[in-house]
Structure 1
Amino acid sequence: MNAREGALRVLYDVEVNEAYSNIALNKELKQYKYSQLDKGFLTELVYGVLENVIYIDHVIKQFSSVKLKKIHPYTLILLRLGIYQILFLDKIPASAAVNESVNLAKKYNKQTSGFVNAILRNTIRNDKAIKMPDKEKETVKYLSITYSHPEWMVEQFLKHFSLDFTEELLKANNETPELNLRVNTLKISVDECIKLLKEQGFEVQQNPYIKEALTLNNVTSLQDFQLLKEGYLYIQDFGSMLIARVMDPKEEDFIIDVCSAPGGKTTHMAQLMKNKGKILARDVHDHKLKLIKKNAKTLGINIIKTEAFNGKELDENLIDMADGVLVDAPCSGFGIIRRKPEIKYRKKPDDLKEITEMQLEILVKASKYVKPKGYLVYSTCTVEPSENIGIIERFLANNDKFKLVNVGKEYSDLIPGEPQGETVQLYPNTHKTDGFFIAKLQRK
């Protein structure tokens, strides 16, 4: 199977059908047989193009007399694939990138094959003459095109961070994240799991902060990975694992996870509780709850009860009942752009106001379930302060029953980088993790 054609199909699904890149890619790899080499190449093409769309489109505009909106989706995606290979992949001969793109154009939109050929050959001839905005005079535009983030998002980051930090963050958002896995200590010890992985030829690193967190290097596909299928391991970023560790649930606790899908943090809490006690995992979507059940079953966990419920509503039956409540709130996702680069192009400036109101509403309702001396953890996978510390400040201003736990102090041995304050904010550029925010509050 042709990796370039596979990448074309995946990118079309993301662009036209608004599929998530990881889901569309997994679907393609399951549907067609690819060699390990081609799996790696296909994945590189998909994420390489998605990470650099604004820059690549900037190049197309310089060599095309046809406006981007008028170019057929298949043709536009083939141009993006071709330009990505020409400008970003030294190991691919430019002639191969052109020829393969033209052949695919003949198959998917025949009348545009000459157009594709002309644009790509023009790019090869003039690659050193690509014009860019002046960094000093047009800073936002320069950063937007160079790192393929929309201008409004660059402006948003510059509101909160220095120019240097913003540029480092934009750059980190385009880097390939490490593959982090959580050892399921209900089934296997960390040491035994590391031993098994090494015997199978994997390069393994144990995280120095969270012992059950591992990093695997040079992995092209996990489709036939038995340790994953049998529930000895679970794919989860370090920042996500830190949330359950900060919740710090005990055996026999009653925990409510109000926005729980797909269940990474829920199952991690169950693991830390040694599968003793009770976790109520809620979500608004039934298909997501099925995923939590499936994950729990694979991991050998039986203390999780799933329930369809909207976190914006109040469940009178649960008031003052829980030892701990986790609100891993729906958010802009600005902290996981390196995993889902399409987030950059789908979010709109107006989304933030709507999201922050919903986050506060969910947090207020969830706080009612916490018993006296119980804990409320609020987390997001974003680096946007208005969704993070901004929400906590607004909540505390109207809720004197709660006080902040100093997470930076209480859990300092779990947190990488410079010492943190009462709340924790992780960034891809400084912590080499996804961008996560964590606050822990205790009911007085």
Structure 2
Amino acid sequence: MKTENGVNTRGLVLDMLLELERGGEYGNLLLKNVLDKYDYLDGRDKAFIKRLTEGVLERRIQLDYVLGQFSKTPVNKCKPLIRCLLRMGAYQILFMDNIPDSAACNEAVKLAESRHFHQLKGFVNGVLRSISRGKDTLAWPDREREAVKYFSVMYSMPEWIVRMWLADYGGKVTERMLQALLEPRPVTIRLSQRISAQEKEALLTALEECGAHPVVHPYLDYAYTLGKTEGIASLPGFDKGQFAVQDVSSMLVTECALAGRDSTQFLLDVCAAPGGKAIHAADRLYGSGRVQARDISGYKAGLIQENARRMGLENLEVRIWDATVPDESMKEKADVVLADLPCSGLGVIGRKPDIKYRVTPESLQEVAALQRRILANAAMYVKPGGRLVYSTCTINKAENEEQTAWFASHFPFTLQSLNNGLPEACRNAETEAGMCQLLPGIHAADGFFIACFVRKE
């Protein structure tokens, strides 16, 4: 299918899926780059590209299960291009009611032929037409006898992750999480807390008039979800630094870090890129305290600086520093240290679906070891009586609760209640004890973990 400009939209999707097969950059970044490059396309064409690319990524395990029922050649034995074509066609047939099955089949055959796979176009056509005929009588795993396989196939989640979550959270909560991770995630913005009430009212009116339809988030009165998310940078107020794009889970980290600490003069963020939490903290501390945001590379530091400049934050300093390397010059200098550390990212699969295919049980162990190295250095930077907030965007006890227990047993810190920094809907016995695990489908936020420590005097 070609657009008026002669662009083959399915060809673009195929090229992106092939790039992801080769282990390139994350799908959300690849998709953004392609949509930016072809910004001149009609909105419907861009929506089609986005839906098909994200859909194939999100449903890959389920699609392969279906293909396995109709293809004599196992999916993993197919040529990468044919495998991607079959997944694209199957997704359109199973999940895109506005696309005729015949169009999904025919366009896949045309792509196979145009990409020099003439000899396999009959195979592609046969498999997809068989799915079209048999889609209403598909055989799925038995929920009662094969719970792990059922959840894995129906929600396209690797079995080992399903097994881990079932052990930690049980079937009911696990299924709610799996459902939520397949639902569209809203874009959330954080209004600058330095704009006046009149400016806020004018901004919200302007966003409503341009079709963004902001709705206040139930957790924070300065957080809003947007109904329209295309062209964020062109929305009213963006270039003036009146708002930043940030999930509410990330905002809650800063809320917990600064709750009840009006005397905070210096906050250090040891792994800050792209800078959401550091910028939020600088916004909160503007006129009373300063923030230093660190990250490992010049590229990441540049992202933070770019966002800080747009937000007009002169109290935020950016520095390139490897968090695994101790910095003696910062010993006991910070009132608050933010340690939002590299993690497996299982809590944000809803935004980055290819995470679930990249992460492995072995990689969880590796990242946990890295976290401990960074935490050992971060502990050194906290003043006596100061606060360290540890956070991750994952749902994995080895990276969260177990790391918290390890840190508390090896360093002169005690856990402190998070309840002053959390909305009532997120409070429980665990948050009173100093830890919070946000779960998609259970909370109105991404999957996130927060722990708060105070250094002993």
Give the TM-score normalised by the residue count of structure 1. 0.94
Q: Deviations over 1:278-337 (max 9, x none)?
A: 222111122111111111111111222222222222111111100110000111101000
Structure 1 residue 228, shift from structure 2 partner: 2.8
Instruction: Identify if the C-alpha distance between structure 1 residues 267 and 75 changes in structure 2 by more than 3 Å, giving closer, same or farther.
Output: same
Question: What letter is aligned with 1:404?
Answer: L
Aligned to 2:133: 125
Is 1:402 the equivalent of 2:408?
no
- Which segment drifts farther, 139-148 or 178-187? 178-187
Counterpart secondary structure, 1:118 = helix
Once the two structures are overlaid, the 10-residue window that deviates more, 219-228 or 353-362, is 219-228
User: 2:43 aligns to what?
Assistant: 36
Task: Name the counterpart of 1:259.
Answer: 271
- Write the letter of the residue equivalent to 1:7: V
Task: Specify the alignment match of 2:447 in structure 1.
Answer: 435
Q: Deviations over 1:405-426 (max 9, x none)?
A: 110x323436547674321111
Residue 113 of structure 2 corresponds to residue 106 of structure 1: yes
The CA deviation at 1:229 is 4.0
Q: 1:331 aligns with which of 343, 354, 362?
A: 343
For residue 168 of structure 1, what is the aligned residue in structure 2?
Answer: 176
Q: Distance in 1 between matches of 2:188 and 2:424?
A: 16
Q: Does 1:203 align with 2:213?
A: yes
- Report the TM-score, using the length of structure 2 for normalisation: 0.92
- Which of 311, 317, 321 in structure 2 is aligned with 1:305? 317
| Contact 2:186–2:227, Cα closer than 8 Å, also in 1 | yes
- Distance, in Å, in 2 between the alignment partners of 1:342 and 1:427 is 19
Question: 3-state DSSP class of the match of 1:305?
Answer: strand
Output the CA distance in 2 between the equivalents of 1:230 and 1:118. Answer: 55
Looking at structure 1, the residues matched to 153 and 453 of structure 2 have their Cα atoms a distance apart, in angstroms, of 40
What is the identity, as a one-letter code, of the residue corresponding to 1:383?
Answer: I
Contact 1:280-1:304 within 8 A present in 2 as well: yes
Question: What is the match of residue 188 of structure 2?
Answer: 180
Q: CA deviation at 1:256?
A: 0.8
Q: Structure 1 pair 222/4, CA: closer, same or farther in 2 (3 Å)?
A: farther
**Correspondence 1:276-425 to 2 at 5 A:** 276-399=288-411, 401-407=412-418, 409-413=419-423, 416=426, 420-422=431-433, 423-425=435-437
**1:9 positional shift:** 2.4
Distance 1:223-1:280 versus aligned 2 partners, 3 A rule = closer
1:193 aligns with 2:193: no
User: C-alpha distance in 2, partners of 1:250/1:35?
Assistant: 50
Q: Distance in 1 between matches of 2:280 and 2:79?
A: 45
Q: Is the contact made by 1:258 and 1:311 (CA closer than 8 Å) also made in structure 2? A: yes
Matched residues, percent identical?
37
| 1:267–1:142 CA distance, 2 compared to 1 (3 A) | same
| Contact kept? 1:270, 1:276, Cα under 8 Å | no
Shift of 1:83: 0.6
Structure 1 position 97 matched with structure 2 position 108:
no
**Tell me, which stretches of 5 or more residues in structure 2 are unaligned?**
1-6
Relative to structure 1, the CA distance from residue 298 to residue 331 in structure 2 (aligned partners, 3 Å threshold; closer, same or farther) is: same
Contact residue 190 and residue 212 of structure 1 kept, 8 A: no
Cα distance in 2 for partners of 1:51, 1:300 equals: 37
- SS of the equivalent of 2:339 reads strand
Bigger mean CA deviation after superposition, 76-85 or 327-336: 76-85
Aligned-pair CA distance for 1:404: 1.4
CA RMSD across the alignment: 2.0
Question: How many aligned residue pairs are there?
Answer: 442
Query: Structure 1: how far apart are the matches of 2:269 and 2:46?
Result: 36
Q: What one-letter code is carried by the residue in structure 2 that aligns with 1:19?
A: E
d(CA) in 2 for partners of 1:417, 1:121: 52
Please give the alpha-carbon distance, in whole angstroms, between the structure 2 residues aligned to 1:271 and 1:101. Answer: 50
Look up the SS of the partner of 1:385 in the other structure: coil
* Alpha-carbon offset, residue 186 of structure 1: 3.6
Distance 2:365 2:392 in 1: 15
